[in-house]
Chain A
Amino acid sequence: MSIQDMIAQLGQGMLTSVLIYALTLIGAVPLALPLALARGGKSKIARLLTGAYISFMRGTPLMLQLIAVYFGPWYLFRIRISDGYRFHAVIIAFVLNYAAYFAEIYRAGIAAVPKGQREAAAVLGYTNAQAFFRIVLPQVIKHILPPMANEFITLIKDTSLAFAIGVMEMFTLAKQISSAQRSMAPLIAAAVFYYVFNAIVAFIMGRAEKRLDYYR
């Protein structure tokens, strides 16, 4: 296999990895907000349900969840699994899993905003929604950026778990080519890819944190 072929194949895998990453964030970042609000909210049932959900998602391996989401429809309902479902299953499992982690981070961030801020907003006549989006949420974002940066970086490496249900992302391809060609090169290329990807995400998150430095 020529170097060009190898790079082309790995490039395909990179694209898949980046796609898994982006779609997971697009799904999990907003989904975590209602979860966090329910988890810290007034309804006892909602608190219990979200608590159980988060506990389950954080307490079992992501690889197991991937397999469960992929094979679940067949085992439970005898629904035939199409090949196209493979990638969807990865995104569903990743979004469900990461939303649980993000929800806990949001909850801590919301709790870190003093109650007095909401009271001041209430006396000024803001509705609950206005107070949340204009007063609370901007402060929450500042609190949660560092722990979110951690999760964003972990997610890059977690995308390699998609191999468990045979999705041809970067790591799966690197492993295949490496054993077929008896060469270290694809693995080194994969390592460089993950490292650079991480560096880019860390840089962006660092910039975002700096941008919010204008207040304390």
Chain B
Amino acid sequence: MGILNIENVSKSFGSRRVLDSVSLSLERGETLALIGPSGEGKSTLLRICALLERADSGAVEYDGLYACKAGRYAGKAELAACRARLGMVFQSFELFPHRSVIQNICDAPAVVQHRNANEVRQEGSALLARVGLAGREDAMPYQLSGGEKQRVCIARALCMHPEILLFDEPTSALDPQSTLDVLNIIRSLKSDGISMMIVTHEMDFAKSAADRIAFLYGGRIAEIGTGEYMFGKSTSKELEKFLTGGKA
């Protein structure tokens, strides 16, 4: 069993079935990339993992702790315990605009986890240095470039010490250089042993950094495997079509 297990999860929006009995496990320390055409359920699946969206049926489990079993969600306390294991980085950053960079990083550890404010601030500064933003503690979010914002978001998520980090298209809104910077940071997190699930359109990154790649198509996981398998040995027609931009 992995650290995050999705079992037979289905989800519909109105009459549109976005996920159709999807099962997927994220192993401890694994980096898993979710790829596929737009509108095929990648983000919905990630949001269900982040507990931002509710599955209609199936189970969502975090290392023995069930958030959802047979389509029924657990109570507030259990969900909070599940949430405590998670961190998430959004495509649109979602930094809090009225808070400085360091406050964005340190508020939740102090308020939610009741940790010592000075210790958290020191850790926040260290994390900022780690993502290449040493000395930018007091900057406001609007003073940062897109790439810098995303790096602060990663630091904010890390400061909560999550076991699982979820990334929803973290580089879709970034220029090529910022994309490289952010992807390099994500790559560096692998050595920390954090389990990561990443929705991405960066195929080179998925191929080189992910341990496994899952291809979502038609609300199902149409193919899953290592980069080597997915980009060479798979016989899936849909995957081939997707990877070649519809020319297959």
The CA-CA distance from A130 to B160 in the complex, in Å, is: 16
Partner of B90 from the list A119, A214, A215 (CB cut-off 8 Å) is: A119
Cross-chain contact B98 with A215 (CB below 8 angstroms):
yes
- From DSSP, what is the main secondary structure of chain B's interface residues? loop
A-B contact count (CB 8 A): 57
**Interface size bracket, A side:** 10 to 19
Cross-chain contact B160 with A116 (CB below 8 angstroms):
no
- What distance in Å separates the Cβ of A130 from its nearest Cβ neighbour in chain B? 6
Cross-chain contact A120 with B94 (CB below 8 angstroms):
yes
B140 close to chain A: CB less than 8 A? yes
Cross-chain contact A134 with B97 (CB below 8 angstroms):
no
For A215, the chain B residues whose CB sits under 8 A away are: 97-98, 140-142
For B108, the chain A residues whose CB sits under 8 A away are: 124-126
29 A-B pairs within 8 Å (CB atoms) are namely A114-B92, A114-B94, A116-B90, A117-B94, A117-B96, A119-B90, A119-B94, A120-B88, A120-B94, A120-B96, A122-B52, A122-B83, A123-B50, A123-B52, A123-B83, A124-B108, A124-B156, A125-B83, A125-B108, A126-B111, A134-B107, A134-B111, A135-B96, A138-B98, A139-B98, A142-B98, A215-B97, A216-B140, A216-B142
Q: Which residues of B contact A (CB under 8 A)?
A: 50-52, 80, 83-84, 86-88, 90, 92, 94-98, 107-108, 111-113, 140-142, 156, 160
Instruction: Name 16 extra pairs, CB < 8 A, besides A125-B112, A139-B98.
Output: A116-B94, A117-B96, A120-B88, A120-B95, A122-B83, A123-B51, A123-B83, A125-B80, A125-B83, A125-B108, A125-B160, A134-B107, A134-B111, A142-B98, A215-B98, A215-B142
